[in-house]
Copies of this chain bind each other. A is one copy, B any other.
Amino acid sequence: MISVEEATRRVLATARPLPAETVPLLQALGRVLLAPLHADRDFPPFHRVAMDGIALAYAAVAAGQTTFPIAATQLAGMPPQPLTDAQMAVEIMTGAALPPGTDTVVRYEDLAFHEVNGRRVAALQVPPPAVGHNVHHQAADRAAGDLLLPAGVRLSPAEIAVAATIGAATLPVARPLRVAVVSTGDELVALTQTPLPHQIRRSNAYMVQAALQEIGAESEAFHFNDDQQALRQGLPPLLGSFDALVLSGGVSKGQADFLPSVLQELGVTQLFHEVAQRPGKPFWFGEKPGGAVVFALPGNPVSTFVNFYQYVRPWLRLCQQPQASLPEPTALLATDFTFAPRISYFLPVRLELAPYGHLLAHPRHTGGSGDLASLLHYDGFLRLPPDQDEFKAGDAFPLVRFREW
Residues of B within 8 A of A375 (CB): 158, 161-162
**Complex partner residue of A186 from B50, B77, B202, B203, CB under 8 angstroms:** B77
If A76-B187, A186-B77, A256-B76 touch, does A161 touch B356 (CB 8 Å cutoff)?
no
Interface residues of A in 73-87 (CB under 8 A from B): 73, 75-80
Say whether A197 contacts B94, CB under 8 Å. no
Q: Which residue of B lies closest to A213 (CB)?
A: B29
Contacts of A136 in B (CB 8 A): 367-368, 370-371
- Residues of chain B within 8 A of A168, CB atoms compared: 191
B376 near A159: Cβ-Cβ < 8 Å = yes
Chain B nearest CB, measured from A78 CB (Å): 7
A94–B252 touching, CB < 8 Å: yes
> Looking at chain A, what size class is its interface with the partner chain?
35 or more
Chain B residues closer than 8 Å to A201, beta-carbon distance: 164-167
A198:B357 contact, CB within 8 angstroms: no
Query: Counting chain B CB atoms within 10 Å of each CB, which of A194, A305, A368, A405 scores highest?
Result: A405
Digit string of A211-241 for contact with B (CB within 8 Å is 1, else 0)?
1011000000000011000000000000000
Does A385 sit within 8 A of B, measured CB to CB? no
Segment with Cβ contacts to B, from A1-9, A122-130, A326-334:
A326-334
A255 at interface, CB cutoff 8 A: yes
A353: interface (CB < 8 Å): yes
Q: Which residues of B contact A63 (CB under 8 A)?
A: none
Considering only residues 192-207 of chain A, those with a C-beta below 8 Å from chain B are 192-207
The oligomer's copy count stands at 2
For residue A350, CB closer than 8 A to chain B, the reply is: no
Q: Is the CB of A76 within 8 A of B376?
A: no
Q: Which of chain B's residues has its CB closest to A166's CB?
A: B201
A226 to B300, CA, bound (A): 61
Q: How far does the alpha carbon of A167 sit from the alpha carbon of B206 in the complex, in Å?
A: 11
Residues of chain B contacted by A25 (CB below 8 angstroms): 191, 206
- Choice from B26, B79, B159, B371 contacting A141 with Cβ under 8 Å: B371
Q: Cβ of B43 and Cβ of A186 under 8 Å apart? A: no
Q: Mark A314-330, 1 if CB is under 8 A from B, else 0.
A: 00000000000011011
- The answer to whether B29 and A77 touch across the interface, beta carbons within 8 angstroms, is no
Complex Cα gap A95–B198 (Å): 9
Query: Cα distance A341–B218 when bound, in Å?
Result: 50
Asked if A17 is at the interface of the complex by the 8 Å CB criterion, the answer is: no
Contacts of A162 in B (CB 8 A): 203, 372-373, 375-376
Residue interface bits A92-122, CB-to-B below 8 A is 1, else 0: 0111110000000001110000000000000
Given contacts A96-B198, A165-B200, 11 further A-B contacts (CB under 8 A): A26-B206, A26-B209, A29-B210, A44-B370, A77-B225, A95-B200, A108-B253, A157-B208, A161-B206, A162-B203, A332-B357
Q: Considering the complex of A and B, which 10 residue pairs feature the smallest CB-CB distances, nearest first?
A: A77-B186, A77-B187, A161-B207, A52-B254, A358-B358, A97-B198, A93-B254, A157-B210, A158-B375, A357-B358
